[in-house]
Amino acid sequence: MIRENIERVQEEIWRAAERSGRRAEDITLCAVTKTVDAQAAQEVLDAGIVTLGENRVQSLLEKYEVLADRPDWHLIGHLQTNKVKYIIDKVSLIHSVESVHLAEEIDRKAKAHGIVQDILIEVNVAGETSKFGIRPEETERFLEQIAGLSNICVRGLMTIAPLPQKKGENRKYFSKLRELFVDIQSKKYDNSNIDILSMGMSRDYEEAVEEGATIVRVGTALFT
């Protein structure tokens, strides 16, 4: 079932990319494995998807014990500063940086490991009080505040859109984040290489692709 679901989602990503004049190979399908065990995650790898996203540090560590570094691990959920030390040498990308304090802690731990950690800035485009993320208008100032941190590299932006009740409902948020993404691409920061736009989940990944997503985070559509 997992393999069939992956093939269907990949086909829909391909069609969405084609509709928007993009190349499907420029879009990464990040399989969100937070609700499944390591065996199901292994099935995803066997089906050819190498990027796995975890919301919780503990869940990532449990699967890491089984799968080690075979997947390309992404931490996509809220990250507490006291948990950075557990994942800094295991993940290739942290999607959810939304405070200077967290960025500084990632920078410190990355420096201790002799690495430069890729991160995304989480932007709360919809302004939901229940969600983490900085406001869109704070993004440029935020980038300026963390520009001196040499052991992180800002690769782009991420957002978690509201749970849509109907198709197309989140397009306005994806469009707004893409505009912000293009804007910050035109600016130069010492520790940035802006090329990743992480947006879209199981209910809205097609419209996210149409609006410019380079990573879609899909869980439910793969495992149910």
Tens-place pLDDT, residues 134-143: 999 999 999 9
**Taking CA 97 as the corner, what is the angle to CA 188 and CA 203, rounded to the nearest 5 degrees?**
105
65 CB neighbour count, 10 Å cutoff = 8
Contact criterion met (CB below 8 Å) for 224 and 186: no
What is the distance of C-alpha 110 from the center of its chain? 19
User: Looking at residue 188, what is its pLDDT?
Assistant: 85
Q: How confident is the model at residue 91 (pLDDT cuts 50, 70, 90)?
A: very high
In sequence order, what are the beta bridge partners of 217?
30
Tens-place pLDDT, residues 5-51: 999 999 999 999 999 999 999 999 999 999 999 999 999 999 999 99
Tokens of residue 65, six digits: 């014990």
Higher pLDDT, 19 or 164: 19
Residue 196 has pLDDT above 90, yes or no: yes
Give the domain extent around 32. 2-223
Phi-psi region of 68 (alpha: psi -120 to 50; beta: other; left: phi over 0): left
CA distance 209 to 24: 9
Dihedral angle, C-alpha 30, 89, 115, 141, nearest 10 °: 60
> In total, how many domains does the chain have?
1
Burial of 98 (0-12, 13-18, 19+ CB in 10 A): buried
Residue 161: CATH number of its domain? 3.20.20.10
Q: Is the full-model pTM beyond 0.95?
A: yes
Residue whose structure tokens are 């609006």: 211
User: Looking at residue 166, what is its pLDDT?
Assistant: 84
Tens-place pLDDT, residues 38-84: 999 999 999 999 999 999 999 999 999 999 999 999 999 999 999 99
Residue 165 has pLDDT above 90, yes or no: no
Tokens of residue 61, six digits: 């560590």
User: Looking at residue 28, what is its pLDDT?
Assistant: 98
